[in-house]
Structure 1
Amino acid sequence: MENAVFVRKATKQDAKTLFAFLEQKAEFDRSMKGFSGELSTSVEKIERTLFGDLPFAHALVLERESEVQGFALYHFRYSSFTGEPSIWLDDLLVVPEHRSKGGGFELMNALKVEAETANASFIAWTASPHNIKAHAFYKRLGAEIERMDAQRPYFRWAITC
C-alpha cells in the first residue's frame, strides 16, 4: 500500500530540487512543442528570487516518503480594475514515474488553498496545445478555457470563497 502524498511550501533547501525539476519541465515542454529555448536560471537565482527578502514567486512541493515527486511554481497578480488578486501558475510538474497517482490533484488543491487564503478570485495558466491529457485533467478540476492564443489554451479556475 502506497503512503499518502502531502504538499508543503518549498524552502530554500529545496532550491536544487526545484532547479532539477525546472530542467525536467523544460525538457517536457520541448517535447510538447511548448518551449524551444534554454534555461538561464540557476540554483542561486532560485534561492534569491524565491527565498530572498522579497520573493517574486512561490513553490509548493509534492512529497511521498520524504521523496519530492513534483512541484508547482506560482506568483500573485493584482487587477486594479477589479481590486482582486489572482494567481498565475507558471509551472506544474509531477515526475513521470509518479504521474497519474493523484499528485497533480494534490498540488492543484494545495494551490487552491493558497488562493483562498489570499482571497484570490482565480488561478490562471496556459498549457501546450499538444498536452491533451493535461487539458482533460484541468477540466476535471473545474477549470475552463478562458481564451485561446492560436492553438494554445489559457485556463482559468475560479475560486469561490
Structure 2
Amino acid sequence: MHNQQFLIRDANVSDVSTIMELIRLKAEFDGCLDFVEATPKKLEDTLFCENPLAFVLLVEIDENPIGFATYHQIYSTFLAQPGIWLDDLYIKAEYRRLGIGEALIKYLCQITKKIGGGRIDWIVATHNDPAIQFYEKMGAQIIQRVRLCRFNREAIMHHVCM
C-alpha cells in the first residue's frame, strides 16, 4: 500500500534485525523492555518458516523503517469466522499523527476481508489515552467488561499444567 510519503509492506526474512529493533522500541515505549526475550533467530524461526505463527507489516519512508504491526489469525466460535489478532502496532514518535496508524488499520481490515474475517481484536494499555482516542476515532469499541487473562511460562511449566 502506497501513500505519498510512506509504504506499507509485508516483512521478509531479510527484515529480522529491523523487526527486532522495532520490537525493542515498542517495549521501551510500553515501559517493559526487560520482558523482551525475542532474538533474531527466534523471529526467523517463528515468522519466516513453513507455517508462520504471525505476520509483520513494515512501514517505511524512503526505505527507512518507521513502524510496524504484527498480527495472526484467530477464530471466533460466536461468529464461526476467522479474524485477526493485532499483537503490536508501533510508529516511531516523530512519525505519529501523519495518518500512518490509520493506514495500517485499514490495511489490516483489507487482510481481514480477504480471509472472510469477522473482526479484529487487540488490547490497549488503560493508561495509553492517545491510543484509546485514536482507536475510538477510527470506530473501535473499547470493551471494558472483559479482562486479559494469562498463564505465564512459570504457571504453564510448574503450577497449572503439572
Give deviations 1:108-147, integer Å, cap 9, x for gaps. 1111111111111010111111110000110111111133
Instruction: Decide whether the 8 Å contact of 2:76 with 2:82 is kept in 1.
Output: yes
Q: Which one has more relative contact order, counting CA pairs under 8 Å at least 6 apart?
A: 1
Work out whether 1:12 is the aligned partner of 2:13: yes
1:55 partner amino acid: P
- Cα–Cα, structure 1 residues 135 and 81, in superposed 2: closer, same or farther, change >3 Å? closer
Deviation at 1:36, TM superposition (A): 7.2
User: Would you say 1:104 and 2:101 are equivalent positions?
Assistant: yes
Segments of 5+ residues of structure 1 without an aligned counterpart are 153-161
1:3–1:65: 8 Å Cα contact kept in structure 2? no
* Distance in structure 2 (CA, Å) of the matches to 1:135 and 1:47: 32
Runs of 4+ in 1 over 3 A off after TM superposition: 147-150
Please say if 1:61 is aligned against 2:58: yes
Instruction: Select which of 24, 49, 53 maps to 1:52.
Output: 49
Normalising by structure 2, what TM-score?
A: 0.83
> What percentage of residue pairs aligned between the two structures are identical?
34
**TM-score, normalised with respect to structure 1:** 0.84
Q: 2:133 aligns with which of 114, 133, 136?
A: 136
**Which structure shows the higher strand fraction?**
1
Larger radius of gyration: 2
Runs of at least 5 residues in structure 2 that lack an aligned partner in the other structure: 149-162
Q: CA RMSD in A?
A: 1.9
